[in-house]
Chain A
């Protein structure tokens, strides 16, 4: 567990996705250990989400604790199911455009992305708990959680696109070693070189200029698909927070969709 956390830390710091680490066009982040940590972080955030139900009922209602438990289980599920739904089409189109990224590389990359997303999300946990303690308003909590998830999503997907960019770049220059050397220098990672760039590239930085665009477009479209599917998946798996006047259930009836509900929450918050 500690080791996996260190690996996640390496990903967050960008050590795992430096040009020097992926120069053979493969990403070496582990899948198993990282998934465990990711699930754990998701559960932590789920507990923070469920805290609203527990605090609102004063901690006396068993249903509220069930809600907390359900959120802790469902939150990691939300992310992994979203991935499961969007992965097959990603694989097909990635192969269709002739990308040289292997399936394993793609999966490693996506698990690393989930790690980034849930690490960011879990770090918002204390803020969510604090507002749960002090807020009665259900629409406010809903929107706050949507905002936190959106920020985590944006950062995670930015990580994905940038890392992908580097991977494609690394593969392109395998045939032309000189370019690889230049790319490595651009990275500023070779700290033994005194003249190198002062700042080591962060995990969200663009490195070098790439040329292969088709694989990148596939991922760009996929990022949008992932966001939409994720949003709707969160709706399918609701309740996460637990509407005050509704009894606890693991899932709700099929009804409406995520986007209508967010608009509805905004309208309610503004008293319409």
Chain B
């Protein structure tokens, strides 16, 4: 437990050993991701209450946050790997990978630190739409924070070879592109009070980008 907490501190301060040393085995990082992802997911899923059937929404949401990050990561990785190689950065790939994985863990830590805000929001407002918006805001802020950390972890890599800057930007583009759709596919995270508790929505999954375009069309009356 103590090493875990020290690990978090190292991670957030972007100490060099996060990337260079072997202080953080993959097991520890995964443990961080699961524990803190669960934590935020559980709070997020508690919108409709925690008793009876709604308890399952808490469990589902808790499970889905680490799942969201892990799946997005796995899907984005192959293209990142090939393009890294193509830019002549294969020798640094292990370091780059460690930085990316550490960022994933940091994202869940930041999210978990926002969990009290979400709980307070839920306690003060029962409006589903605003709960949705609030969680989007939390996820957005946590992502931005985690990306800032990623840039810090990447700084020594960029210093050794400026092409890493291109790669870290490309990673953000691919990861966001996949991640947004993954978040859409894995909904509901919060659980609308009017819908029954389910792991996945019964309706067709649909495409987040197509939906966004549709909403814009509607708003502008095209």
Contacts and interface: CB of A to CB of B under 8 A. Distances in A.
Interface stretch (B47-55, B189-197, B208-216): B208-216
Nearest to B218: A271
Given A130-B178, A270-B213, A123 B160 contact: no
Contact of B222 (A12, A135, A271): A271
Given A137-B207, A202-B163, A124 B85 contact: no
A200 to B, nearest CB: 6
A148 to B, nearest CB: 9
Contacts of B181: 130-131, 134
Interface of B: 74-76, 78-79, 81-83, 85-91, 160-161, 163, 174, 177-178, 181-182, 184-185, 204-207, 209-210, 213-214, 217, 222
Nearest to B82: A123
A136 B204 contact: yes
A223 interface: no
Interface string A1-43: 0000000010011100000000000000000000000000000
Contacts of B222: 270-272
A199 interface: yes
28 contacts: A9-B85, A13-B85, A116-B86, A120-B82, A122-B82, A123-B82, A123-B83, A124-B78, A127-B75, A127-B79, A127-B178, A130-B75, A130-B178, A130-B182, A131-B181, A131-B207, A134-B181, A134-B207, A135-B210, A136-B207, A159-B86, A199-B160, A200-B88, A269-B213, A270-B217, A271-B213, A271-B214, A271-B222
Contact of A135 (B75, B161, B207, B213): B207
Interface SS of B by simple majority: helix
Interface SS of A by simple majority: helix
A198 B160 CA distance: 8
Please classify how large the interface on chain A is, using the bins under 10, 10 to 19, 20 to 34, 35 or more. Answer: 35 or more
B178 A136 contact: no
A13 B89 CA distance: 8
A9 B84 CA distance: 12
Contacts, number: 96
B88 A199 contact: yes
Question: Top 9 A-B pairs ranked by shortest CB distance?
Answer: A202-B88, A123-B82, A135-B207, A123-B78, A123-B79, A134-B205, A134-B185, A12-B85, A137-B210
A98 B62 CA distance: 67
Contacts of A13: 85, 88, 90
A135 B206 CA distance: 5
A119 B160 CA distance: 26
A271 B205 contact: no
A103 interface: no
Nearest to B91: A200
Contacts of B174: 127
Contacts of B81: 123
Contacts of B86: 12, 116, 120, 155, 159, 202-204
Given A134-B184, A135-B206, A271-B222, A203 B88 contact: yes
Nearest to B78: A123
A23 B81 CA distance: 29
A127 B88 contact: no
